[in-house]
Amino acid sequence: MSESKSDRDPVTGLPVLELENKDVLQHIDMSRPLGLLIRGLLHHVDDSLDPAGVMREYMDRVPEGSYIAPTNY
One-letter amino acid at 11 equals V
Helices in 1-73 by DSSP H: which ranges? 22-25, 51-61
Rounded Cα distance between 4 and 29, Å, is 26
* pLDDT for 4 beyond 70: no
Among residues 70, 1, 12, which one has the least CA distance to residue 41? 70
Q: Can you point out the beta strands (E) in the chain?
A: 35-39, 67-71
Greatest CA separation for the chain: 34
Task: Read off the pLDDT of residues 14-63 as tens digits, 9 standing for 90 and up.
Answer: 666 677 778 888 988 989 999 998 888 888 888 988 888 888 888 988 89
Q: How many CB atoms lie within 10 A of CB 54?
A: 19
* pLDDT band for position 69 (cuts 50, 70, 90): very high
